[in-house]
Each structure stands twice: as C-alpha cells, then as structure tokens.
Homo-oligomer: A and B are copies of this chain.
Amino acid sequence: MQIADVTMFQIIKRELATLEEELLRAVSSPVPLLQEMGTHLVRSGGKRLRPALYLLAARSGPAFKESRMMPLAVAIEIIHMASLVHDDVIDSADTRRGSPTANARWGNQAAILGGDFLFAQAFTLVSGRDYGEEIAVRLAELVRELSTGEILQDSSLYQAGLSEASYYERIEKKTAHFLALCSEMGALVAQAPEAVARGLYKYGHAIGMAFQLTDDLLDITGDAAKLGKPAGNDIRQGVVTLPVLRALAQSPDRAELTAIVTDEAMTDAMVERALSIVRASDGVAYAQAKADEYLAQAKAALPEPLPEAVRRAFIKAADYIGRRDF
C-alpha cells in the first residue's frame, strides 16, 4: 500500500504519481546490475511516507512548484531505500514487502555497493539544484543520524537491561529525525516562514516517534500476512523494543522473558512464548499510550499559519499512523 492511495494525501496525489516515474529515472544506470537492482527496489513499492511528508510540507510555502520540489523528494526516498538495502544485508533478510531483498537476489556484495550507489545518487540528484547550504547540511545530517541509529541498535542487541531513554534515543535517530527533516525541508524549499519550518520539524519528529513505536508494537500484535514478515521478528533478531522493555520490568514472567530475549540461539517456540508474555503484560498498552502521546504532540506542534487543506492533511496523517495495522 502506498501513501498515494490514502485519502489525506489527495492534495499531493499528482506529485506522488510523478515521484514514481522520477524514482525509476533516478535509478537508471548504464551498468545493467545497478539498473536492474534499482528498478526492482522502486517496483517493490513502499509507503513513500517520507517524500509524502516533504511534499505536503512544501504545500505550506509560497514557492511550491512541482518541478522544483521533485529532485529532493526523489533523493529522500532513495536515501530511505539505500538504508533499507544495507539493513537487509545486516539482518540477512530474504524478503521485504513480499519481494526478495537485494541481498537475497544479487548477493551481499552487490547490495552493499548498490546501497552506496543509491546514497551517492541521492546527493547527485540534489546537487546543482540551488537548494542551498541549509538543505545540504540537513541531508548529510540525515544519513549520518540514520546510520548512527542503526549502529546504536546493533550494539544493543540481545540485551535485557536497556533503559527506556536508550530506546527513545535509538528510535529518534533511526526514524524520528528523518521524518522531522522531511517535514522541515519541505517548508524550507517552499520558502515557508521560519516558524512554519520549525513547527513542521516538531510535527515530523513527533509522528516519527509514534511511527516507530507503532512499528515496534506491530511486531508484537501484528498480523504476519499484513506485515509481510512474521510477528516477533524484532525479538528473534535481538532488537528489544518498548513493549518488551516494559514487560521485562513489570511482568511476573520477567525472568523467563529475560532468558529468552538474551538468547541469541532462541527457537521459534521461545519467540512465541516471549510474544505471549509481552502480550499478557501492560507493555502493549504502555507503548500504545506513548504513541498516542506523540501523536497528540504532533498535532499540537502544527504551526498556526498553515493552509487549511494542508493542516487537515497533516492531522489525518497523524491519525493514519496511529491506526495503521501494516
């Protein structure tokens, strides 16, 4: 499912259609392997949430013009794509969104280099477009925080003693900062007033936190068919999320849960048991309440001087993130 099909993004429906064409153009290469891999990645889909937020934010400024906005929208999605390609190598993942991953199809070597190529291609797309230094600074920072977030996650695998603060730091770097910068950059490129850019940064940050919390919740409560991956995937890979952290602190079965989540050789049955323990605890409700809190924060952060249609779309986007089940 793509964001373009979701009603709140009607306002940028045409731009999202252009985005798909431009993505295919951006991954084209005279090197057959790169062309094939890029096309496969674009065609495998994705929600396009990041460029959608950017384009929506761009509707808040007076200088909105599709042709001007587009290269950065494409770059944003390509950076996201590149980071997923590297994540899938790291996690030895075979499928994503029901399609084979780049590493499954072309091997780790090609996927590592293909990811590097995509990162570079994203920077190529925005260079020479007169977006100005403030965009260049943010785009580089975005990739830096993204990889830092993944490093933080990878250095805390299979650990039961993590603090909630370290969980929030990790999801902030991994997700919230990215969404915050997408919203802010839209406002900046469209020359919206500074207060609008600031407010949209906060909005993006808060929905980013909610988005990752929801993602982590779905790993506990979600439907494997809709998710395109089995529930309990995070637990199996040693990624300890908020519902699990809460259960580790509160559940009567916390000793058993600790033994499972710290066991790098855990079996499917152990993952199932861990899921039952977390589901029986207040971990799900606790994380859900946090996500709701962030969504309320997001709505409150929306800046005053925003076109009404854009404001409504941002509010619907927050609601959509709160109730998504995939």
Nearest B residue to A79, CB-CB: B120
B136 touches A128 (CB 8 A): yes
A110 at interface (Cβ–Cβ under 8 A)?
yes
B123 touches A128 (CB 8 A): no
User: In the complex, A123→B143 CA distance in Å?
Assistant: 9
Selected contact of A148 from candidates B117, B133, B136, B147, CB within 8 Å: B117
A152 touches B31 (CB 8 A): yes
Evaluate whether A109 and B34 lie within 8 angstroms (CB atoms) in the complex, with A136-B123, A137-B128 already known. no
- Residues of B with C-beta under 8 A to A115: 116
A112 at interface (Cβ–Cβ under 8 A)?
yes
B123 touches A147 (CB 8 A): no
B110 touches A154 (CB 8 A): yes
A33 at interface (Cβ–Cβ under 8 A)?
yes
A99 at interface (Cβ–Cβ under 8 A)?
no
Nearest B residue to A86, CB-CB: B112
- Residues of B with C-beta under 8 A to A155: 31, 33, 110
Evaluate whether A140 and B152 lie within 8 angstroms (CB atoms) in the complex, with A86-B113, A112-B89, A133-B128 already known. no
Selected contact of A144 from candidates B117, B128, B146, CB within 8 Å: B117
Whole-angstrom distance between the Cβ of A178 and the nearest chain B Cβ: 12
A44 at interface (Cβ–Cβ under 8 A)?
no
- Residues of B with C-beta under 8 A to A119: 116, 119-120, 143
A127 at interface (Cβ–Cβ under 8 A)?
yes
Q: Interface residue count for A (Cβ, 8 Å)?
A: 44
A283 at interface (Cβ–Cβ under 8 A)?
no
A194 at interface (Cβ–Cβ under 8 A)?
no
Q: Type the 1/0 row for A240-275, where 1 means its CB is closer than 8 Å to any CB of B.
A: 000000000000000000000000000000000000
Evaluate whether A90 and B116 lie within 8 angstroms (CB atoms) in the complex, with A33-B151, A148-B29 already known. no
Nearest B residue to A89, CB-CB: B112
A94 at interface (Cβ–Cβ under 8 A)?
no
Near B by CB (< 8 A), chain A positions 108-161 give 108-110, 112-117, 119-121, 123-124, 127-130, 133-134, 136-137, 139-144, 146-148, 150-152, 154-155
27 residue pairs of the A-B complex, CB under 8 angstroms, read: A29-B148, A31-B148, A33-B155, A34-B151, A86-B112, A86-B116, A90-B108, A90-B109, A90-B112, A110-B154, A113-B147, A113-B150, A113-B154, A116-B119, A117-B147, A119-B119, A120-B140, A120-B141, A120-B143, A123-B123, A123-B143, A124-B140, A124-B144, A127-B136, A128-B133, A128-B134, A128-B136
**7 extra A-B contacts, CB within 8 A, seeds A115-B116, A116-B143:** A86-B112, A86-B116, A90-B112, A90-B113, A119-B119, A120-B142, A124-B140
Q: A: which residues have CB within 8 A of B?
A: 29, 31, 33-34, 83, 86, 89-90, 108-110, 112-117, 119-121, 123-124, 127-130, 133-134, 136-137, 139-144, 146-148, 150-152, 154-155
